[in-house]
A and B are shown apart, each in its own frame.
Chain A
Amino acid sequence: MLLIGERINGMFKDIREAILNRDPEPVRYWAKRQFERCAAFLDINTGPTVDAKDQPAVMEWLVKIAQETVDLPCCLDSTNPEAIEAGLAVHKGKALINSTTADQWKMDIYMPMAAKYGAAIIGLAMNEKGVPKSAADRAALAMEIVVNADANGIPMEDLFIDPLVLPCNVGQEHGPEVLEALRQIKMLADPPPKTTMGLSNVSQRCADRHLLNRTFLVMSMAAGLDSAIVDLEDDALLDAVAAANILLNKDIYCDSFTKTFRQR
Chain B
Amino acid sequence: MAVTIAKEKWTSQVNELVIGTEPNVVKVGGETTLPFLHFEGQIPNKPVVALEVWDMEPVGWPEVLTSAFAGVLNDPVAWAKKCEEYGADLICLTLMSAHPDNKNSSPAECAATAKAVAEAVKTPLIVVGCGVEAKDAEVIEAVGEALSGKNCLLGCAKLENYKTITATCMVHGHNIIASSPLDINLAKQLNILITEMNLAANRIAIDPLVGALGYGLEYAYSIMERARIGALTGDKMLAMPVICFVGQEAWKSKEAKSTTEEAPDWGDQARRAILWETLTATTFAQAGGAIMVLRHPESMKQFRAHIAKMMEPNVY
Contact = CB atoms under 8 A, between A and B. Distances in A.
Is B a genuine binding partner of A? Answer: yes
A251 B186 CA distance: 14
Interface string B177-215: 000000011101100100000000000000000000000
Interface stretch (B24-32, B124-132, B232-240): B232-240
A70 B15 CA distance: 23
A252 B235 contact: yes
B185 A252 contact: yes
Nearest to B238: A252
Contacts of A253: 185, 188
Nearest to B184: A252
B236 A263 contact: yes
A256 interface: yes
A251 B234 CA distance: 9
- The majority secondary structure among interface residues of chain A is loop
A255 interface: yes
A260 B188 CA distance: 10
A254 interface: yes
B41 interface: no
B192 A252 contact: no
Interface residues of B, number: 13
Contacts of B192: 254, 256, 259-260
Contacts of B238: 252
Contacts of A260: 188, 192, 237
A253 B187 CA distance: 10
A98 to B, nearest CB: 22
B185 A254 contact: yes
Given A260-B237, A263-B236, A252 B189 contact: no
A251 B236 CA distance: 11
A255 B189 contact: yes
A220 B184 CA distance: 28
A254 B185 CA distance: 5
A-B pairs with lowest CB-CB distance, top 10: A254-B188, A254-B189, A253-B185, A252-B230, A255-B189, A256-B192, A254-B185, A252-B188, A260-B237, A252-B184
16 contacts: A252-B184, A252-B188, A252-B226, A252-B230, A252-B235, A253-B188, A254-B185, A254-B237, A255-B189, A256-B189, A256-B192, A259-B192, A260-B188, A260-B192, A260-B237, A263-B236
Interface of A: 251-256, 259-260, 263
Given A251-B235, A256-B189, A256-B192, 4 more contacts: A252-B226, A254-B186, A255-B185, A263-B236
